[in-house]
Each structure stands twice: as structure tokens, then as C-alpha cells.
């Protein structure tokens, strides 16, 4: 079951349009909710929907990835790997302009 992370939102982009959406977790994996669907988020900014990319994710608490690059909460997913510094900067603070 998906559980909303209170106070968290992600910015996703589709065809040059930016949208803030609520963030959910499922078994420690991190998703964005768009309409009635959930989109899996990856550490490189890609998503499970090829039409969307993750612009930023101002996440409170630890953030990691699994061996396939899926974003996870390392407090729940025990075999998680740390994010490379460039991914942390890009995802957590957004691109510099």
C-alpha cells in the first residue's frame, strides 16, 4: 500500500511543464503521485514513466538508492547504497541556474 509522506512534494517535468506533486512511499521505495497513478523515482532523475523526469525532491531525512538506481529510504530498505554527491545536489536542491 502507498503511504503519503506528509509535508513532502516532488517537482516533475513533462514536455517542459513543471508540476509539484505529493510524494509517497511503498516498502521504503519513493514515488510521486500524478493524477491517479504513482510514478517510481530514480536516483538519476529518471522515472518509471518515460514522459516524466524528476526535477527535484526536497526530502527530509536520509535518501539512498538500491542497486537498480531506485530512490529509497535507507531506514526501510536495508541493502541500499548511498547517493553520489552530484545526485544529492541535483535532486535535493534542484539544478543551479
| Per-residue model confidence as pLDDT tens digits over 14-60 | 999 999 999 999 999 999 999 999 999 999 999 999 999 999 998 88
Q: What is the H or E stretch that residue 93 is in?
A: helix 85-93
Helix-strand-coil percent breakdown of the chain, rounded to 5? 10, 50, 40
Which of 75, 73, 41, 69 is closest to 56 using CA atoms? 41
Distance CA 72, CA 95 (A): 21
The pTM (predicted TM-score) of the whole model is 0.87
Distance CA 96, CA 63 (A): 20
Amino acid at each position: 500500500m502507498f503511504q503519503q509522506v506528509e509535508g513532502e512534494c516532488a517537482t516533475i517535468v513533462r514536455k517542459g511543464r513543471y508540476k509539484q506533486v505529493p510524494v509517497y512511499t511503498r516498502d521504503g521505495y519513493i514515488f510521486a503521485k500524478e493524477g491517479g497513478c504513482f510514478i517510481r523515482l530514480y536516483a538519476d532523475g529518471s522515472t518509471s514513466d518515460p514522459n516524466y523526469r524528476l526535477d527535484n525532491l526536497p526530502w527530509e531525512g536520509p535518501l539512498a538508492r538500491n542497486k537498480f538506481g531506485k530512490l529509497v529510504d535507507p531506514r526501510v530498505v536495508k541493502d541500499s547504497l548511498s547517493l553520489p554527491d552530484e545526485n544529492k545536489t541535483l535532486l535535493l536542491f534542484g539544478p543551479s541556474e
